[in-house]
Chains A and B, each alone.
Chain A
Amino acid sequence: MLKKFNLVTGGAIVLFLILVFIVSFFYVPHNVNQMNIENRLIAPNHNYLLGTDNFGRDVLSRIMKGTQTAFIVGGGSVIIGLLFGILIGTTAGYFGGWMDELLMRMIDALLAFPGILLALILVTIFQPNIEVTVIAIGIMTIPSFSRVIRSGFIKCKQMDFVRAARNFGSSHLRIIFHHILPNTVSSIIVTASLSFSTAILVEAALSYLGLGIQPPDPSWGRMLNEAQGFAKLAPWYTLAPGFMLTLTILGFNLLGDGIRDLHDFSE
């Protein structure tokens, strides 16, 4: 019962977020970046459903546009993590030996390197913008994909059907992509879903520290940064982006758990 609950709730939240994401391309109640100093820090009312920020911008519109930032960062970094993860994970897991040892030590080094530091270096060398943020977070995602895929390969490598394929003279590439990879798909999906929410969380933390998304582009983390000074005067400004952030992470976490539960069940 609980297993389905995770899947259904997570799915519903994610669907809702996707809806907001799509709508934000076509409609937001007010211009996202339009300032109106006269209207600064207005409490929620019928015109500004979630109030306004310290520049008189509509918080609801900025929150909605913020889903774009979150989805681009989440999606982009998962794709980077996935591509490199497949490359590293398959090489290490399938071939093993010194290759495996070397690659895994590199992954360990990456894990030991503080993520914020990595992001900062990239942001300083290039420019602080969304692309660099995606790359930085994407690199931080590589280890978990690599490890999951590697362990999947180590498990499958020993299985009968792989041995059989090898005996029939199938090429390495064919075995990797045709026989083994499809068997790791479910754990990859779970990792992707969880990495997606982690990526959004990290982006928010980076932007909160002023290192990620640059103003005036709306990012939930950056909004929290700007809102903190006005927490007493305008609590809605602090609550709204944090709530969206929590909802998004919750949705993708639940979805990931739900998929995993489903998989365990069928096994």
Chain B
Amino acid sequence: MTTFNVKRKPWLLAILLLTVNLLLLSACGSSNKADESEKDRKGTQTEKSKTGGSVVVAIPQDLDYLDPNLAEAAGTREVMFNIFEGLLKANTEGGLDPAIAESYDISDDGLTYTFTIRDGVKFHNGQTLTSKDVAYSYAKLAGLKTGKPLSSSFANVKKIETPDDKTVVIQLKEKEAAFITAVTASIIPANYKDSNKTPIGTGPFKFVEYKKGQSLIVEKNKDYYVKGIPYLDKVEFRIVPDQEAAFLALQSGEIDIYPRIATEKAEQLATGFKTISNEQNLVQLLAFNNKVKPFNHIKVRQAINYAVNKDEIIKGVALGKGTKIGSNLSPVLSKYYNNELEDLYPTDTEKAKKFLKEAGYPNGFEFTITVPSVYPFHVDTAQVIVNQLEKIGVKAKIESVEWGVWLERVYNGRDYETTIIGLDGKLDPFEILSRYISTADNNFLNFKDPKLDKVLSNAKVEIDENKRITDIKEAQKIIAEDAAGVFIMDPHTNVTFKDTIKGYKTYPIYVQDLSSVYLDHPQ
């Protein structure tokens, strides 16, 4: 926002202040706490008056499969989070909470995981969950019978045993610290075949009805093992592919919660709505193809890092809603985030020019930024970067290509010079950083650093949390110092809901958790 707008339009200032407020709140990862404090202030609202009611949530795409073993789309898993659970469950801080397992133990060699199942967990059909159900579900994902794992996170599983109804033992082929995040995968009743028609899980909500292309309706699981949760009786996930239509439906009151609303739309809304913005565990970067000239020269990569002004991009492209980063990890994973790297390359034209000269390009050079045209956000970022690089005599050309072409040529074919893209985060930091391992299949940056390979191979198997944190932080530092790319920001995502809705929690992964949501009934 320019000062101009604020001066002329006082209401804009109000919105701005409001947004800043929300930003600050969410920046400490506590948008949920904000709601709690509100609850305290109200005080009078008892647990009981919170229960009941129903809400409608807009989701942008149809579900691909109801069966959690078949579902590929992130948009499907996002809503199924309410129906299915794994042994463990992701929390708002990016950590793991006990879910179906009440506790677990990892053997010293890191190969044997022993889970103890919580008492009295019931499936939505009333059946009590036992270790057999867990073994059935996970053996299927690991492909123990077929030899073909359905999920790559389970590829490392050697065998699954059930010594008794309460215990599951999973044996791994080799040490893998990230495996613990795999057991967030959904558990279904053993030998249940109708998951794609009538999914049965253990989550806070149970499946009621799915209308293709229209909606998914779920209702309260009264037997949920966490007492008092969920509050809502019914939730409808309504499929509204069109942003404008969703926006209209929100305004007309047909939709209560609209996740991922565009910033300029959220700003247009009148009173009666509340918007939360926060990081989404996404890393936007200008990726270099580290193998091609001139980007195989570290000084060139560093020079470009000195020339790109991230603050300007955040202000101009993200309208201020982005958190500056310094390496390939979002600050939402606060435990692992190395916070010393954001200003490793302060914008410095002279230094950038000096580095270019040392690399043998005193007069700059020309190169192409290949951007997927479906993301205007990245195309706009490219425009700003082209402009910033002009100042150090480097001429960048934008080539915007279709998504399919980008996937084939840039991501899979690695036939490009530079590109701008947002890399999705995951729960485990190793799984995010592993693409920088020189032999990784998805190392589309062609990055190669023996030091990093070593640090990450440690992090891969390190079970000791503190040692692992040190490794992960070191890895981020190496990636940043080697300037694998220009790590720009974690762009914020917005959620807008009616202000009668309370308790909405945001997660560093792509989920909509309705279990904590309740309606604030006006007295």
Contact, chains A and B (beta carbon distance below 8 A):
yes
A residues sitting closer than 8 Å to B (CB atoms) are 33-35, 37-43, 54-56, 124, 127-129, 210, 214-216, 229-230, 232-233
Q: Which listed residue (A39, A56, A128, A233) contacts B400, Cβ 8 A?
A: A128
Q: Which listed residue (B2, B4, B315, B400) contacts A214, Cβ 8 A?
A: B400
Question: Is the Cβ of A40 less than 8 Å from the Cβ of B316?
Answer: yes
Question: Is the Cβ of A33 less than 8 Å from the Cβ of B316?
Answer: no
With A41-B5, A42-B2, A124-B405: A216-B316 Cβ-Cβ less than 8 Å: no
- Min distance, Cβ B329 to any Cβ of chain A, angstroms: 26
- What are 23 A-to-B residue pairs whose CB atoms are below 8 Å? A33-B386, A34-B387, A37-B312, A37-B315, A37-B316, A39-B2, A40-B2, A40-B316, A41-B2, A43-B4, A54-B316, A55-B380, A55-B383, A55-B384, A56-B316, A124-B401, A127-B399, A128-B373, A128-B401, A210-B373, A210-B400, A214-B400, A229-B264
Most interface-central of A38, A54, A214, A230 (chain B CB within 10 A): A214
Size range of the interface on B?
20 to 34
Q: Which residues of A contact B2 (CB under 8 A)?
A: 38-42
- Min distance, Cβ A237 to any Cβ of chain B, angstroms: 14
**What separation, in Å, do the CA atoms of A174 and B386 have in the docked complex?**
54
Q: Which residues of B contact A42 (CB under 8 A)?
A: 2, 4
- Min distance, Cβ B367 to any Cβ of chain A, angstroms: 14
Q: Per-residue 0/1 for B395-425: is the Cβ within 8 Å of any A Cβ (1 yes, 0 no)?
A: 0001111100100000000000000000000
Question: Is the Cβ of A55 less than 8 Å from the Cβ of B316?
Answer: yes
Most interface-central of A41, A215, A230 (chain B CB within 10 A): A215
- Min distance, Cβ A260 to any Cβ of chain B, angstroms: 40
Residues of B369-393 contacting chain A, CB below 8 A: 373, 376, 379-380, 382-384, 386-387, 390
Question: Is the Cβ of A35 less than 8 Å from the Cβ of B387?
Answer: yes
- Min distance, Cβ B444 to any Cβ of chain A, angstroms: 20
With both beta carbons as reference points, the residue of chain A lying nearest to B312 in the complex is identified as A37
**What separation, in Å, do the CA atoms of A249 and B23 have in the docked complex?**
47
Q: Which residues of A contact B264 (CB under 8 A)?
A: 229-230
Q: Which residues of B contact A127 (CB under 8 A)?
A: 399
- Min distance, Cβ B350 to any Cβ of chain A, angstroms: 20
**What separation, in Å, do the CA atoms of A226 and B264 have in the docked complex?**
13
In the A-B complex, the 8 residue pairs with the smallest Cβ-Cβ separation, listed nearest first, are A37-B316, A35-B387, A216-B383, A37-B312, A215-B383, A210-B373, A37-B315, A214-B398
Q: Which residues of A contact B268 (CB under 8 A)?
A: 232
B residues sitting closer than 8 Å to A (CB atoms) are 2, 4-5, 264, 268, 312, 315-316, 373, 376, 379-380, 382-384, 386-387, 390, 398-402, 405
Q: Which residues of A contact B390 (CB under 8 A)?
A: 33
Q: Which residues of B contact A38 (CB under 8 A)?
A: 2
Q: Which residues of B contact A34 (CB under 8 A)?
A: 387
- Min distance, Cβ A127 to any Cβ of chain B, angstroms: 6
- Min distance, Cβ B458 to any Cβ of chain A, angstroms: 42
Question: Is the Cβ of B315 less than 8 Å from the Cβ of A215?
Answer: no
Question: Is the Cβ of B387 less than 8 Å from the Cβ of A33?
Answer: yes
**What separation, in Å, do the CA atoms of A34 and B312 have in the docked complex?**
13
Give me 13 other A-B pairs in contact (C-beta within 8 A), A33-B390, A215-B398 excluded.
A33-B387, A35-B316, A35-B383, A37-B312, A37-B315, A38-B2, A42-B4, A56-B316, A124-B402, A127-B399, A128-B401, A210-B400, A232-B268
**What separation, in Å, do the CA atoms of A42 and B5 have in the docked complex?**
9
With both beta carbons as reference points, the residue of chain B lying nearest to A40 in the complex is identified as B2
With both beta carbons as reference points, the residue of chain B lying nearest to A56 in the complex is identified as B316
Q: Which residues of A contact B312 (CB under 8 A)?
A: 37
Q: Which listed residue (A54, A124, A216, A230) contacts B387, Cβ 8 A?
A: A216
Q: Which residues of B contact A129 (CB under 8 A)?
A: 399
With both beta carbons as reference points, the residue of chain A lying nearest to B262 in the complex is identified as A229
**What separation, in Å, do the CA atoms of A208 and B382 have in the docked complex?**
18
**What separation, in Å, do the CA atoms of A41 and B12 have in the docked complex?**
14
- Min distance, Cβ A48 to any Cβ of chain B, angstroms: 12
With A40-B316, A128-B399, A229-B264: A35-B384 Cβ-Cβ less than 8 Å: yes
- Min distance, Cβ A72 to any Cβ of chain B, angstroms: 17
Most interface-central of A37, A54, A230 (chain B CB within 10 A): A37
- Min distance, Cβ B73 to any Cβ of chain A, angstroms: 24
**What separation, in Å, do the CA atoms of A215 and B373 have in the docked complex?**
11
**What separation, in Å, do the CA atoms of A58 and B264 have in the docked complex?**
22
Question: Is the Cβ of B398 less than 8 Å from the Cβ of A216?
Answer: yes
**What separation, in Å, do the CA atoms of A43 and B315 have in the docked complex?**
19
Most interface-central of B380, B382, B383 (chain A CB within 10 A): B383
